[in-house]
Structure 1
């Protein structure tokens, strides 16, 4: 597979995983009676923006690694000058938790469909250790790029889905796992416990070098 094709499929897989998560979270929240204010698919320059069903939809395809769903907005029956609120706070805490967890459960389901049930679950659970195993990262990325070169796109999609779901459920403030930890203080965001700030620092300390190293390894594997 040519380098341009490899880059395209890497982009496509990353975009498919993050967009599927964003769309599923919007669907889960809406089914509980809370519609998001914004569903942003990707990052970078905006390609398309439209308003549909009371939700603003924005497509930013250049950077596929980040999608977002926002629930910040005034109450439906309030004036535009009303204080901004997180609409998820209207839900019972169990439903709020489900809104966070179910989209990632869907990605695990995708992994099971692509890899087989047992292998999909195994890849999910081993995904929790991926950001902490630097020594194994070169071999993992070389193996993943080899899958793309061999055209095993379904298996690659399953692996990405499993690992992304696991990493995002780590108990770090900027990830879904951190959102779960913060649920007891969801109505007091300005009064989070002291440990949350420390954990946020540790998150950045762990994830930023790991992301940079991963991008470097992907580049080396593709352009060598």
Structure 2
């Protein structure tokens, strides 16, 4: 009995530490997002942003990115993973999967959390209204505003939220970290692809990552409160 009590106490301690760590990360990232947004609105980041974009282009032809042709093709394919079409398909499949497992509350929570985050991304773009980079040629078609990067923010919201939700229902402990690790990796490479393709400034992507991470952390807290541990 004493051994069982010690085991349960250890589990509770780990859970509490995870909560405080997540809260600390969310607070720090939210502060970073607030400061970064202010710098962007004041134009303080423009020199840094443009210098990074120029570093990724051939100095003799700014329409040509550095690196082999296959790298550009790979970046175009990667960036599609953060597009609305792919993300909508992925979210739909996950929701169907959760429904088939009779996790109806989790499916409903995922739906509201992710699409709510997408709405926030659109509102931030409209409110800040930063124009797209003009210093280099865009290698893929874009039409909306620049800050925060929609691909970076939506991929962070979608993949991080799904990773956290799927890890919650995974029964094998060794696999619970697999989903969050994949989510972080996908979020990072999608954001980097937007910079390489010249359609976003680096600070756009940083802002998207930050906003998406804060939303995903908030969703994680909400899930603990609404769905239980």
Shorter-chain TM-score range: under 0.3
Q: Which has the larger radius of gyration?
A: 2
Of structures 1 and 2, the one with the larger relative CO (CA 8 A, separation 6+) is 2
Normalised by the size of structure 2, how large is the TM-score?
0.26
Normalised by the size of structure 1, how large is the TM-score?
0.26
